[in-house]
Amino acid sequence: MYRFSNTVIGVLNLLTLLASIPIIGTALYKARSSTTCENFLQTPLLVIGFIILLVSLAGFIGACFNVAWALWVYLVVMIFLIATLMGLTLFGLVVTSQGGGVEVPGRVYKEYRLGDYHPWLRERVRDPQYWNSIRSCILSSKTCTKIETWTTLDYFQRDMTSVQSGCCKPPTACTYEAGVVDGGGDCYRWNNGVEMLCYECDACKAGVLEEIRLDWRKLSVVNILVLVLLIAVYAAGCCAFHNTRHAAHPYHPSDDNRMTRVRPRWDYYWWRWWHEKKEQLY
């Protein structure tokens, strides 16, 4: 049992150590490639990736080299990591439970309403300083440039991303006739300028939140799988920690009753003889 549990935790921690590398890489790649440069996901991914890397390294060393203190540190940090990841996953599921697009009659794409999303997310994008950084990222990604050459027929037949639907055109309900604007607040915020468009529209903010919501949903599924793996590794780590301490102190008087159930190790009789002699002397 000693070799089995230590081998299992050593292998599992080696796998989680290697798995932390693509997690960190994914967070860095997403920070570069994301349309909105949103850090809702990148920061948690980076933190979790580095913690898993360090914790797995401690667990691997403790299990393979019988370092009891490393395993103790590993188990303490692991329980906090599991609790944090569980809290983050539950928070993500609650925050992303609201939202989604609205079908537009006669169109393939959907449109998005800011009021449909969780209040916590709405407050984030309503912060002017925070929104300006997202707006700059959308401009630099040239998201709207991709649909500049669309014809009227393309708007009926082709799909859009949530950001393109909210930021690159006015809402479909808007009408502009003879200088009269009708259709709601976003219709007045629309501007034909390349750097203006509908970037200050509520529909644009809703489109950004929809992209975040979908990404966060995917991350929550991954988090659940990682949680299952971490709980399994933690259980194996408890066995390895117990076995490592037992290896450092192989026998105890309370073990006498248990030794009758299994075959004693080769040095058991020597240890028992020495222990009895010691009691006679003192």
- Tens of pLDDT, residues 188-214: 999 988 889 999 999 999 999 998 898
pLDDT at 280 over 90: no
Residue 239, domain member (yes or no) = no
What is the count of structural domains for the chain? 1
Residue 203 forms part of a structural domain = yes
Q: Domain for residue 199, yes or no?
A: yes
Average pLDDT, the chain: 78
- Do the domain assignments include residue 2? no
The rounded distance, in Å, linking the Cα atoms of 114 and 91 is 20
pTM of the complete model: 0.74
Say if 229 falls within a structural domain: no
Q: Count of alpha carbons within 13 Å of 212, Cβ hemisphere only?
A: 28
- Which pLDDT tens digit goes with each residue over 98-142? 888 899 998 999 999 999 999 999 998 999 988 988 898 888 888
Mean pLDDT of 15-20: 74
Q: Which domain holds residue 175?
A: 104-211
What b-and-e string marks burial along 142-156, b requiring 16 or more CB atoms within 10 Å of the CB? ebbeebeeeeeeebe
261 has pLDDT over 50 = no
Q: How confident is the model at residue 4 (pLDDT cuts 50, 70, 90)?
A: low
Check: CB of residue 167 under 8 Å from CB of residue 144. Answer: yes
The answer to whether residue 205 is domain-embedded is: yes
**Residue 246 within any structural domain of the chain:** no
How far apart CA 276 and CA 251 sit, in angstroms, is 13
Q: Is residue 55 part of a domain?
A: no
